[in-house]
Structure 1
């Protein structure tokens, strides 16, 4: 197993202390998690930490409140003129951080930019249709077909300044997977409540409150310091030592200690996110495997055998320390499958059945394969992969676990440079289409299936999912969605594991709103 070495806890604590002389003021939020934002370009990547930090600087037309309900943001109102035509009224008097006035042309530009082939959110931008400026504060969206998630998609495209992007040769998003760097990688110019002060990738990023923001601050935070700390023990030590105010992803093994420590508190919540194992089913020969001239993952019996060999209860109790809700559904939230208990059912843990299936498929002695995993993205991600490798060894499948930081991992996955991988999917939207269109459908135009890194092609699943994306009748749409998930489960294109339980650990004097999408909104934080 390949893992980066972590700095000693004391060294990290001293580094944070030196960066913040004395005790930070009550209006400075110092927080950490295990990874770093991949980029400051809001259209380049689609990853939660990246999106949430960019989302403090850049805003969307429609936003969410503390309970994830849709609320106005850069758009003050909207009207559906027909099933395929929407009109939005824009907020007057808004300015970007560098002083440019916000107008309809920025919306038109941003939606077009987010549709670029280098954008990882282009499937959402495509769902907004064609945009035109009616006047400086009015835009219309003309859709090729009905989109039941139009307003949801409007929460995902962050708005940029057209003039600023063009001035800095950034009219298209950073091509992350090719290793490209653009001005927008390290610089920002949004309309949001916080302004970027400095950016040191993998070290620290700082922000200050935007004094000219149009909205209302419900908290008292005026400065924010974000420090990525890869080591679990170091994050915990820094929090207990008072060098951090909040840790977004405290390690499961430290939770009892944190709950019992004076001056600390833990806020729990189930995240809308499913973790799963994907397998390359597109190539005729795997990139990283002992099997030559064939691809064992093309055989559903092999995929089913691997599923049966997963001891999900041991994973839940021993690896995740209870911070997991096992499921057989490839849906971040039960709401996405209409709380269907049958779709939630997993294939049972059955080693005898798994061994029989792997032998029937022609691999009685098993085979070797590489499993790529991030080591700083999900709760205990590297440990999950190591545990799964041990489980699969019991049916003869020898797994070489390769873990890497999220920036390397996602760049490899986007290039399909994987044979087997751990991935998570979720966010604020609980509707099934976000998973079906992005993860489960075959890769196609406008970003459809972009996160189908297994590159499988299931015509039946694609037909059902595509039909559900434009169906106006809610009852008929539910039937289509459930049928699509049943098709996926029957073919075992991915192996679902669990939904994450995310506790936030913080100093006792910190009040923060824990949303189900694991999004920390700084303007709601109060430090007493």
Structure 2
């Protein structure tokens, strides 16, 4: 173990030394974490999708202003209530020179819906995809689905032939530790090509000289280096070893802005941080309570909710860079209703009484899983939650770890209590209802509902919301669904986190509220 730690430190030092020698028209990015794979269907996580989204492309995408615009599809229309037709872009080639056609779209949709895929919540309501011509596909949904194009804006297309030639027809399965060629290599149609992949050390990209579209920025090379330590990441920016860091530790914002060499770009992020609980097993995997599951009792869930001092976390852990939330959506997401965004009061006495009424007057022990390199101050948030819960007699056995081991564990539902963040890729409440709240099935519904919360009324509303085109009716159903979920204490919402990117004075880029970082918009002076 000591040898491995020394080796990792040496590789990091070598990577930073290489960054320091980078030449013009190169942007060097330091992020607290790494993309866990180059396979675009292996992990539905925004950092993963941000990195791989420079190499791979969807049928439709988002521009700088988050407007839906053509990508590999030039147009799309609903030809019947359940059928969408996509006209594909001609003349596009994958990075290996093979042409892009309808076969690649059908293959990718099937791959993303298959075993091991983490993108099944994007495809779970698709009944069939069929080829109409070499550059036309139709996607039939199980029910009317007016926001299908939005749903597909982060679903990336792979080359059927390349996957077959490289034994990568199935996605990399992070839960089982299964890797294949798509883990370390990439062959997309995007504006940048993967040049070199060293997991957890450095990943290099180069501009695609034969890209079909316009690349607005002048950057030719991008060097992406994970730098998990906050102080090291900030020092790398201030010393000029890297040009961009994400995220900026909240305590270092003022120092970076005062440096004269770099600045911090800040803004609200469409990401909500929340806690989930195993509500399915008859006995928790990691708890002192035997023979039953305390989280099946709403009183216990509510006790946990009211024991959390969210204002204290906002002030001391997040230093103001968060907005306390009562829902899993907020401003900027279709269907958000501010009248519902009111938290239950922080009340330790009430929480203790709820626990006692549920039969746990002295509390109990429970394991908690948390990443320390994925969200802003994620490890510190979990420590604060554990301290809050200790006040009501709950002893939290906290396991804080890198997302490289955290995600495979919780995605297997090998957890009793966990922290997660979510940014709805469609900017619509249906995404949250479908992926986080809907009852879990084997097709992708509730794929990130890791605690298996289930309310059939919410599910019925989710299906109606999916097909409803009348906005007032749809918004009313969204409100009803979220109220049912809130009344159930289905999850424990915490806050909406803020974006904070550190950017050197030599770099211009676009910061989007979804925390995606397209290289195509980057320029160096």
Using structure 2 for the length normalisation, give the TM-score. Answer: 0.96
What secondary structure does 2:443 align onto?
helix
Alignment partner, residue 412 of structure 1: 409
Q: Separation in 1 of the partners of 2:27 and 2:5?
A: 24
Tell me by how many angstroms 1:82 deviates.
1.7
Show the 5 A alignment for 1:307-346: 307-331=305-329, 333-336=330-333, 338-346=335-343
Q: Separation in 2 of the partners of 1:216 and 1:6?
A: 43
CA RMSD, 1 decimal: 1.8
Question: Do residues 477 (structure 1) and 474 (structure 2) align?
Answer: yes
Assess if the C-alpha contact under 8 Å between 1:127 and 1:153 holds in 2: no
Q: Separation in 2 of the partners of 1:327 and 1:18?
A: 42
Show the 5 A alignment for 1:422-437: 422-437=419-434
Alignment partner, residue 139 of structure 1: 137
What secondary structure does 2:467 align onto?
coil
Match of 2:223 among 208, 225, 236: 225
Q: Separation in 1 of the partners of 2:484 and 2:78?
A: 33
Tell me by how many angstroms 1:79 deviates.
2.0
Q: Separation in 1 of the partners of 2:66 and 2:222?
A: 23
Alignment partner, residue 282 of structure 1: 280
Alignment partner, residue 16 of structure 1: 15
Q: Separation in 2 of the partners of 1:405 and 1:468?
A: 36
150-159 or 462-471, which deviates more: 462-471
Tell me by how many angstroms 1:429 deviates.
2.1
Assess if the C-alpha contact under 8 Å between 1:63 and 1:155 holds in 2: yes
Tell me by how many angstroms 1:456 deviates.
2.4
Tell me by how many angstroms 1:334 deviates.
2.6
Q: Separation in 2 of the partners of 1:207 and 1:217?
A: 14
338-347 or 287-296, which deviates more: 338-347
Assess if the C-alpha contact under 8 Å between 1:207 and 1:223 holds in 2: yes
Tell me by how many angstroms 1:17 deviates.
4.0
Question: Do residues 213 (structure 1) and 201 (structure 2) align?
Answer: no
Structure 1: runs of 5+ lacking an equivalent: none
Tell me by how many angstroms 1:228 deviates.
0.4
Assess if the C-alpha contact under 8 Å between 1:128 and 1:150 holds in 2: no
Tell me by how many angstroms 1:14 deviates.
4.2
Tell me by how many angstroms 1:461 deviates.
1.8
Assess if the C-alpha contact under 8 Å between 1:308 and 1:349 holds in 2: yes
Q: Separation in 2 of the partners of 1:429 and 1:138?
A: 23
Q: Separation in 1 of the partners of 2:201 and 2:9?
A: 16
457-466 or 227-236, which deviates more: 457-466
Q: Separation in 2 of the partners of 1:108 and 1:8?
A: 43
Match of 2:359 among 349, 358, 362: 362
Tell me by how many angstroms 1:471 deviates.
2.4
Q: Separation in 1 of the partners of 2:427 and 2:61?
A: 15
Assess if the C-alpha contact under 8 Å between 1:81 and 1:87 holds in 2: yes
Q: Separation in 1 of the partners of 2:340 and 2:230?
A: 34
Q: Separation in 1 of the partners of 2:233 and 2:6?
A: 11
Assess if the C-alpha contact under 8 Å between 1:247 and 1:505 holds in 2: yes
Assess if the C-alpha contact under 8 Å between 2:56 and 2:157 holds in 1: yes
Assess if the C-alpha contact under 8 Å between 2:20 and 2:242 holds in 1: no
Tell me by how many angstroms 1:156 deviates.
2.0
Assess if the C-alpha contact under 8 Å between 2:19 and 2:28 holds in 1: no
Assess if the C-alpha contact under 8 Å between 2:336 and 2:429 holds in 1: no
Assess if the C-alpha contact under 8 Å between 2:366 and 2:394 holds in 1: yes
Question: Do residues 496 (structure 1) and 493 (structure 2) align?
Answer: yes
Show the 5 A alignment for 1:449-468: 449-468=446-465
Alignment partner, residue 304 of structure 1: 302
Assess if the C-alpha contact under 8 Å between 1:371 and 1:399 holds in 2: yes
Q: Deviations over 1:145-169 (max 9, x none)?
A: 1012211122122111111111111
Assess if the C-alpha contact under 8 Å between 2:111 and 2:170 holds in 1: yes
Assess if the C-alpha contact under 8 Å between 1:9 and 1:237 holds in 2: no
Tell me by how many angstroms 1:430 deviates.
1.7
Question: Do residues 34 (structure 1) and 32 (structure 2) align?
Answer: yes
Q: Separation in 1 of the partners of 2:56 and 2:12?
A: 31
Show the 5 A alignment for 1:50-89: 50-89=48-87
Q: Separation in 1 of the partners of 2:314 and 2:389?
A: 17
Match of 1:378 among 365, 375, 380: 375
Q: Separation in 1 of the partners of 2:281 and 2:244?
A: 44
Tell me by how many angstroms 1:13 deviates.
7.5
Tell me by how many angstroms 1:337 deviates.
6.2
Q: Separation in 2 of the partners of 1:344 and 1:17?
A: 44
Tell me by how many angstroms 1:396 deviates.
0.5
Assess if the C-alpha contact under 8 Å between 1:239 and 1:247 holds in 2: yes
Alignment partner, residue 257 of structure 1: 255
231-240 or 150-159, which deviates more: 150-159
Match of 2:154 among 153, 156, 167: 156
Q: Separation in 2 of the partners of 1:12 and 1:397?
A: 41
Assess if the C-alpha contact under 8 Å between 1:511 and 1:527 holds in 2: yes
Q: Separation in 2 of the partners of 1:254 and 1:363?
A: 42
Tell me by how many angstroms 1:11 deviates.
6.9
Assess if the C-alpha contact under 8 Å between 1:337 and 1:343 holds in 2: no
Q: Relative to 1, partners in 2 of residues 1:349 and 1:12: Cα closer, same or farther, differing over 3 Å? A: farther
Q: Separation in 1 of the partners of 2:519 and 2:5?
A: 28
What secondary structure does 1:142 align onto?
strand
Q: Deviations over 1:46-101 (max 9, x none)?
A: 01111111110011110111010000111111222122122221111111001101
Question: Do residues 192 (structure 1) and 190 (structure 2) align?
Answer: yes
Alignment partner, residue 96 of structure 2: 98
Q: Deviations over 1:473-514 (max 9, x none)?
A: 322221211111001110101100001101111101211100
Tell me by how many angstroms 1:118 deviates.
1.4
Structure 2: runs of 5+ lacking an equivalent: none
Tell me by how many angstroms 1:259 deviates.
1.4
Q: Separation in 2 of the partners of 1:338 and 1:520?
A: 26
Using structure 1 for the length normalisation, give the TM-score. Answer: 0.96
